[in-house]
Amino acid sequence: MKFTKLQGAGNDFVLIETSDAERDWSQLAMAVCDRRFGVGADGLLLLLPSKIADFQMREFNPDGSESEACGNGLRCLVKYVMDTKLADNATREIAIETIPGVRKSRPDKAGGRATRIQVDMGTPKFAAEDIPVVIEPGKGGLVDIKLITYPVTIAGKELLLSLVSMGNPHAVYFQQNPVADFPLAQVAPQVEQLPLFPNKVNFEVVRVVNRKQIEARVWERGVGETLACGSGACAIAVAAQLKGYTDHKVDIKFRGGTLEVEWDGVGGAFLGGPAEIVFTGEWSE
């Protein structure tokens, strides 16, 4: 089985072209994504045919669970279809079918290859049932009518979480200290597994540098800490804007690189950044 390894800001994926939507891809994801006994990746991307878009994408985490949304995965998939000529080089927009809906991408090209890719990640959602989160009566609060802020206590420390759905659930924690100092490996697994998140949650710890720049670390459910997260970057930017911390366009600096997010406060959040093909290979079954 042929595969391609790609990465976007250090968020890495193994991509496989297939028309088989019925296979147990969860088992393959666990094997392929293993960093010692497999190829090693934050996720397995499937490039499938679509009846409603140019292509379809599915993404499986290293624990075998399927993710609803994956921004960097989308950008890597678009990089692949452009560089392998599956999409016409003159194409200005590529539509990708995902679980939350069709997502449109805008690749910048040079020398016949995609150099920078922006994707519309869809409109953020804030209702408890959309995230989803099971709010205890009287414990949560609202900011700017939209954003749910919810306090949780982990290891004796209270964290005020800002909750956003980008097609998948995110809990954003704003703090004033450098994010490198935050004990993510100890705190994040407990946040991910909190009973109030029935589908678990992605956790981002964030420091606002200025109105145009944010630094962040991310813990992705079913994966662990990753070097970047596209849907997480959008959730961070949306929450920061609603809190009045940043402008409509902001750079999110992760350990693996910087992603740019634009949001007009109403429609879809646009995610931009680099994507690269690392190598190709063949997986023996």
Task: Clarify whether 234 is annotated catalytic.
Answer: no
Kind of pairing between the strands at 169-174 and 11-17:
unpaired
Q: Are the C-beta atoms of 81 and 107 separated by less than 8 Å?
A: no
Give the DSSP letter string of 249-264.
EEEEEETTEEEEEE--
The residue from 33, 76, 229, 234 that is catalytic is 229
Q: 229 vs 16, 253, 254, 256, CA distance in Å?
A: 20, 10, 8, 10
In angstroms, the CA 55 to CA 272 distance is: 19
Question: Which is nearest to 119 in space by CA: 145, 144, 98?
Answer: 98
- Tell me the backbone φ, ψ of residue 191, rounded to 5 degrees: -65, -45
* CA neighbor of 226 nearest in space, from 252, 204, 199: 204
Cβ 57 vs Cβ 50: under 8 Å:
no
Structure tokens at 117: 């890719």
CA angle 165/170/174 to nearest 5° reads 125
Is 76 noted as a catalytic residue in this protein?
A: no
CB 37 within 8 A of CB 19: no
The CA angle 183-189-192, to the nearest 5 degrees, is 125
Q: How far is CA 280 from CA 17, 252, 276, in A?
A: 12, 29, 12
Catalytic residue, candidates 33, 70, 76, 234: 70
Residues recognised as catalytic: 70, 229
